[in-house]
Structure 1
Amino acid sequence: MNFQELNLIQPILQALSKENYTEPTPIQERSIPSVLAGRDLLGCAQTGTGKTAAFSLPMIQLLSGSMERAKKNRPIRGLILSPTRELALQISDNIQAYSQFTQVSCLAIVGGVSQSGQERALAQGTDILIATPGRLMDLLNQKVISLQAVEMLVLDEADRMLDMGFINDVKKIIAKLPAKRQTLFFSATMPPEIAHLADSLLTDPVKVEVTPVSSTVERIHQSLYLVDKENKQSLLNELLADQSIVSALVFTRTKHGADRVARGLNKQRITAQAIHGDKSQNARQNALSNFKSGATRVLVATDIAARGIDVEELSHVINFNLPNIPETYVHRIGRTGRAGHDGTAISFCEKDELPYLKDIEKLIKKKIPVVQDHPYPMKGAAPAAAEQGSSKPAAAAESKSDQGGAGGSSKSRRRKNKPQAAEAGSEASAAGQSKPQNKPQSGEVRQLENKPSRSNGPKPQEKKEQARPQGQAPAKPSQPRGDRPREGQNQRQAGKSARMQQQSKKPTSADRYAKPQLRQEVHQESGAVISILPSPWSSFSSKSKK
């Protein structure tokens, strides 16, 4: 089947021919006629299946047939929600390419850029709006945008929006749309919450499912290389030195990583080009066409930029970085082994990516074979050994606690056991024993032994007992060191009590005024006897004069 058989209008066919689209993919072949007929659609398809064209081509055709060309400030009639900025921009680029010979306009609204420029573009009007949920919610809350004229809604990669926490924003956005509309719902996986959302949005939908996950994984030969991060580039160079690898798609986690890997390959005279969101549309198209024609042997890409790459005879997919989302791994390796061809997926795994590997193997329900013999092995253990190693410290701690105190030092154990040792020593000396009869078993906490005194004479305690007169009560047994008062504590308390007693005996000013002592003197001139009351400040005055 070709695109002419899908009843697409001539301007769209002309654009497809210019973009070198020759035959529709299975999801395009099964989706486009139903969407043109006005039906709701539920598409379960992975990335790389051509689903962007599956919903955008019929949207362009339906909106171009009812548009008012001369009218400015066009209302938004088509809304496409995308989970990420990169994917939204990629969809916008594709729609611009597909609609270049029509009057349909599109605009991408994403976060991370100035909002003022987006507001000016919205004021000019657009037919199709591609947006991320977060930025669209901001504009709706500020009443900068209206969605009352939306005729078609597309939810692309709904499962990714759920994983990224956007599903509540999506529900709020949908609540502001007209109830009468056409809805296209796409998701690579169908968890319960996504299935429930699809049921609430779609009316008698056409269900299209392409390439189940299980069949994709079973058809691909997978292998895993455990390698340190600093040796990944060298290992990649070593593998691609094998000329039997005709074409390889290498996935990296970041844009800078893609550029760095491509430069490293070109230094080894391995033709490679990088493709990511920071590249212009012309640069991406040039790299993709070179890769398809064989002029470029290796294409290094991020996950978002690789969407839309459809190469049937791709021999190898290499995961330079393991993805942190298990489904992304399945999407990546699903790009090889298409159309009945055999495919090979090679993955590099560093220590920090071992948890990702565990999640991936849980999803695909099989262990990825590990290549043991390669020139850059990881410094450490295999994944299974690494998991066992994580439990070793706990086991070691338990064994140490059994042997003497949760792995603590021997000094701390001796400090903890000193009170028990002192009591045991006093009991042993009273019984006349020099050493304990039974030795402690292995694994038990060792108690300090009561060592015999080096001198043969009596101990100080024994001397005191000998000097004690008859009839006197025996002295109390010595307390353990931890229970005894500190040295000098009794002396300090005694001195304190003595000082308090002395202070209490000092006369106060009230006492001095209560019982004054009068002294009498004879006046020299008159001879009269005068009684003089002493001043309470006399002692202070005399001291100050001295």
Structure 2
Amino acid sequence: MPPGGRSRSRSPLATETELDKAERRKERRSRSRSRDRKNKVDKSDKRRSRSPERRRRSRSKDRKKDGKHKHSKPSKKEKDAGGEDGELDEEGGAKTKVPLSLEELLAKKKAEEEAFAKPKFLTKEERAAEAMKRRQEQVDAQRKRIDEERKKQVGFLHKGKDPRDDRDRRDRYDRDRDRDRREDWRQGRGDDDRFKEPAEPAQRERREEPESRKELKDKEKELEAIKERYLGMKKKKKRIRRLNDRKFVFDWDAGDDTSIDYNALYKEKHEVQFFGRGHIAGIDIKQQKKDQSKFYGDLLEKRRTDEEKTQEIKRLKTVKEKENKRKHDDRHWMEKTLEEMAERDWRIFKEDYNISCKGGRIPNPIRKWKEANLPKDLLDAIDTIGYKEPTPIQRQAIPIGLQNRDIIGIAETGSGKTAAFLIPLLVWITSLPKIERKIDIIDKGPYAIILAPTRELAQQIEEETIKFGKHIGIRTVAVIGGISREEQGFKLRQGCEIVIATPGRLIDVLENRYLVLAQCTYVVMDEADRMIDMGFEPDVQQILDYLPVSNMKPDTEDAEDYEKMLANFNTTQKYRQTVMFTATMPPTVEKLARKYLRRPAVVYIGSVGKPTERCEQIVYMVGHQDKRKKLLEILQAGIEPPILIFVNQKKGVDVLAKSLEKMGFSATTLHGGKGQEQREFALASLKGGAKDILVATDVAGRGIDIKDVSLVINYDMAKNIEDYTHRIGRTGRAGKSGCAITFLTKDDNQVFYDLKQVIVASPVSVCPPELANHPDSQNKPGATVFKKRKDEKVFIQ
């Protein structure tokens, strides 16, 4: 038992004395209650025995004695009845009641109504006071309601209180105090509990402590949530281990058997010998499955009808054909027939010829001329001319053109674009009756016009068209500058199916009524980017506006529908077909195509806008005075003619050609200042072998096809990389290799960067160190260059 503690058990004697005291207390209370009850009964009996007169007198005396009548307030009814009409009697203090008249009541009521209806002005202070009064009334009512609810709650708790709870509380208090003392004694805090607080308040604090902790935790969580919301605290992501991850254990346990791989007993296990076919208990699982499938197959075969059997035979035949087709997929596309070509074969075919297309429902390319579905006369003409195999642009552009669809062909120079747009045109013209053709072309004009940027290119296209036309009876007229307009008008009035023209002279002929385009349904723009660069865009638009509008294609999906376009292709009133061929695709050409072409199919051949990969590019960094000396060294090296030399100015062309003639070289000139006859003579002498060198400006850089050009020399570097591309495109044509030499000076620094990129991209060319390391070749012209600062060294003492 702890010191200072008290025993919790009570003796029987103490219990008996407490019970006796309680019984005596009850008896005393009952006696006092009975005595009080008897006194009340006696008083009521005395009150009943008195007469009414005596009771009235005694009541009046008491009131006078207490002075209650004097200070008592009159009631509300008394005020209303006697406030105005009644008067108090001065002697006896009694009221004299005077009856009110009906008129006075009505007048009083009317006055009250008027006063109520009449608006009353209240000042700001009065309104504030009224609002405070109302607010105070609401607060008082709310407090009163809360007080009433609290009283009800206290009364309810007091009502349900058991007298025995006090006794239990006392016992609990003693027990708690004893327990606290024992704990203090154990913890060595002393035995004296005089200064300790009672156990009951401490117990209450312990009960309230968990609630306060909970509130504190809630506040902390709220603060964390606010910080996370406004300060953007990063959440720590838990590392989630995949369920299929394996934890490789490098060490083995002591109980693991590590000798299993080395023990011969485990390596050479003895197999159990079974009877039958060598399987467990003589049962072959594979044989069972085979027998089971055969059983169900025979059962289905018995239940099938003849029609179902026929369908099953067809299905098995189809499956066999597919399997056979798959076996043939390994063959090259050249070994297959046209019907055996699969989608995969066509993809390989396009990759082989570097063909890529854009547009909906584009047909497959042609592999051979015989598979192109061309008329026999045209095939004979192709064979006679000597076209053995179609070029990549011809393989893809001809099937699209035969469907009467608009085409945008983007191909490198010398890729056979002329035949690509001529053959579909000739197919359609030959499908028309000859008699109708002769009548229509005289009255309504030609069926097709072909626009070219230069006279030389127009004459070259005319030569190719005449090669085809003389075999199938089609007439062609070239409308170009440098020739008499009246002579060209005479040829046009005689009638022709195709007109080949430059934009300027064709507008002149149209304005002077030498030519009408009433039935022109085929328009070709060759070297469209060159025409735009030369400033022919307004002329081209004006020519296209001369064409009839009635045969325009619909700008819908019907323009891509093979069946509808092909059905219209075989009629006289066919839709207008516009074909555009270009080496590059600048924004101006795209704008023109969007305006005049309807849902075109775009065909890309090779690297668009880049020089051919078969042309070796060589660059020399020289001064202006050293150019002629370097040129003489190159020409004396024994290079086979023909050779093209490009100069930027007309005067420079003539000066260089004369100096070459003096040195013993056979040279001719070609530039814009020459007449048409002189231009034709210069090209014919170079093609015929009479001259070995052609000195020209950029007029000869586009579209002119001179066979077997072995060397191109840029005596003056072109002003932009596009012209440079077309210059060197005169060599390395039609699958042959070539060489291009360029002389660079300090004045050409604006082209250094682009030229370096072109040479680096060529697989057969090497960029010289002078150009590669030049400062102007490191960045594009006009680009802002930020120089790096040198690293500063800080010395700390």
- Structure-1-length-normalised TM-score: 0.56
- For 2:644 and 2:500, how far apart are their aligned partners in 1? 28
Q: 1:202 aligns with which of 565, 572, 597?
A: 597
The answer to whether structure 1 residue 225 and structure 2 residue 594 are counterparts is: no
CA 54–365 in structure 1, closer or farther in 2 if over 3 Å, else same: same
- Partner residue of 2:646? 252
- For 1:53 and 1:273, how far apart are their aligned partners in 2? 29
| Post-superposition CA distance 1:167-186 (Å, at most 9, x none) | 12211221221223011011
The answer to whether structure 1 residue 192 and structure 2 residue 561 are counterparts is: no
- For 1:36 and 1:309, how far apart are their aligned partners in 2? 26
Q: Unaligned stretches of 5+ in structure 1?
A: 373-381, 386-546
CA 272–19 in structure 1, closer or farther in 2 if over 3 Å, else same: farther
Is the 2:517–2:546 Cα contact (8 Å) retained in structure 1? yes
- For 1:62 and 1:341, how far apart are their aligned partners in 2? 33
For residue 514 of structure 2, give the secondary structure of its aligned residue in structure 1: coil
- For 1:6 and 1:259, how far apart are their aligned partners in 2? 48
CA 342–158 in structure 1, closer or farther in 2 if over 3 Å, else same: closer
Q: 2:442 aligns with which of 73, 83, 107?
A: 73
- For 2:394 and 2:706, how far apart are their aligned partners in 1? 13
1:440-519 matches, within 5 Å, as: none
For residue 741 of structure 2, give the secondary structure of its aligned residue in structure 1: strand
Shift of 1:304: 5.5
The answer to whether structure 1 residue 30 and structure 2 residue 396 are counterparts is: yes
Is the 1:262–1:273 Cα contact (8 Å) retained in structure 2? yes
The answer to whether structure 1 residue 130 and structure 2 residue 525 are counterparts is: no
For residue 467 of structure 2, give the secondary structure of its aligned residue in structure 1: helix
The answer to whether structure 1 residue 48 and structure 2 residue 48 are counterparts is: no
Amino acid of the structure 1 residue aligned with 2:409: G
Is the 1:248–1:317 Cα contact (8 Å) retained in structure 2? no
Is the 2:462–2:476 Cα contact (8 Å) retained in structure 1? yes
Q: Unaligned stretches of 5+ in structure 2?
A: 1-366, 553-574, 777-797
Is the 1:326–1:363 Cα contact (8 Å) retained in structure 2? no
The answer to whether structure 1 residue 155 and structure 2 residue 525 are counterparts is: yes
Shift of 1:43: 0.6
CA 204–301 in structure 1, closer or farther in 2 if over 3 Å, else same: same
1:290-305 matches, within 5 Å, as: none
The answer to whether structure 1 residue 329 and structure 2 residue 698 are counterparts is: no
- Partner residue of 2:607? 212
Shift of 1:152: 0.4
For residue 43 of structure 1, give the secondary structure of its aligned residue in structure 2: strand
CA 65–231 in structure 1, closer or farther in 2 if over 3 Å, else same: farther
1:400-419 matches, within 5 Å, as: none
- For 1:209 and 1:335, how far apart are their aligned partners in 2? 20
| Post-superposition CA distance 1:237-257 (Å, at most 9, x none) | 4124335x5677424358998
- Partner residue of 1:101? 471
Is the 1:274–1:287 Cα contact (8 Å) retained in structure 2? no
For residue 121 of structure 1, give the secondary structure of its aligned residue in structure 2: helix
- Partner residue of 2:755? 361
CA 226–112 in structure 1, closer or farther in 2 if over 3 Å, else same: farther
| Post-superposition CA distance 1:118-175 (Å, at most 9, x none) | 2222221221111222222223333332111101011111111211221122112212
Higher relative contact order (CA 8 A, sep 6+): 1
The answer to whether structure 1 residue 110 and structure 2 residue 480 are counterparts is: yes
- For 1:299 and 1:136, how far apart are their aligned partners in 2? 29
Is the 2:455–2:502 Cα contact (8 Å) retained in structure 1? yes
For residue 24 of structure 1, give the secondary structure of its aligned residue in structure 2: coil
- Partner residue of 1:173? 543
For residue 100 of structure 1, give the secondary structure of its aligned residue in structure 2: helix
Is the 2:612–2:732 Cα contact (8 Å) retained in structure 1? no
Identity value in percent: 37
Shift of 1:55: 0.9
Is the 2:646–2:715 Cα contact (8 Å) retained in structure 1? yes
CA 321–60 in structure 1, closer or farther in 2 if over 3 Å, else same: farther
| Post-superposition CA distance 1:19-71 (Å, at most 9, x none) | 44333221122212221222211111233222112112322232132143553
- Partner residue of 2:712? 317
- For 1:226 and 1:265, how far apart are their aligned partners in 2? 22
Shift of 1:280: 8.9
Return 32-41 or 302-311, whichever deviates more: 302-311
Amino acid of the structure 2 residue aligned with 1:173: I
CA 197–258 in structure 1, closer or farther in 2 if over 3 Å, else same: same
- For 1:25 and 1:296, how far apart are their aligned partners in 2? 30
Amino acid of the structure 2 residue aligned with 1:73: I
Amino acid of the structure 2 residue aligned with 1:54: A
Shift of 1:336: 5.0
- For 2:653 and 2:683, how far apart are their aligned partners in 1? 13
Amino acid of the structure 1 residue aligned with 2:755: E
| Post-superposition CA distance 1:340-390 (Å, at most 9, x none) | 887542113467x73774585388497994697xxxxxxxxx9979xxxxx
- Partner residue of 1:442? none
For residue 332 of structure 1, give the secondary structure of its aligned residue in structure 2: helix
For residue 76 of structure 1, give the secondary structure of its aligned residue in structure 2: coil
Is the 1:82–1:131 Cα contact (8 Å) retained in structure 2? yes
- For 1:213 and 1:141, how far apart are their aligned partners in 2? 37
CA 92–364 in structure 1, closer or farther in 2 if over 3 Å, else same: same
1:10-21 matches, within 5 Å, as: 10-21=376-387
Return 258-267 or 228-237, whichever deviates more: 258-267
Is the 2:410–2:608 Cα contact (8 Å) retained in structure 1? no
For residue 73 of structure 1, give the secondary structure of its aligned residue in structure 2: helix
Amino acid of the structure 1 residue aligned with 2:447: R
CA 227–100 in structure 1, closer or farther in 2 if over 3 Å, else same: farther
- For 2:545 and 2:468, how far apart are their aligned partners in 1? 30
The answer to whether structure 1 residue 62 and structure 2 residue 422 are counterparts is: no
Is the 1:79–1:128 Cα contact (8 Å) retained in structure 2? yes
Is the 2:526–2:581 Cα contact (8 Å) retained in structure 1? yes
Return 299-308 or 81-90, whichever deviates more: 299-308
Q: 1:164 aligns with which of 511, 534, 550?
A: 534
Amino acid of the structure 1 residue aligned with 2:607: P
Is the 2:447–2:520 Cα contact (8 Å) retained in structure 1? yes
CA 283–223 in structure 1, closer or farther in 2 if over 3 Å, else same: closer
CA-based RMSD: 4.4
Q: 2:634 aligns with which of 216, 239, 250?
A: 239
- For 2:734 and 2:656, how far apart are their aligned partners in 1? 29
Amino acid of the structure 2 residue aligned with 1:167: E
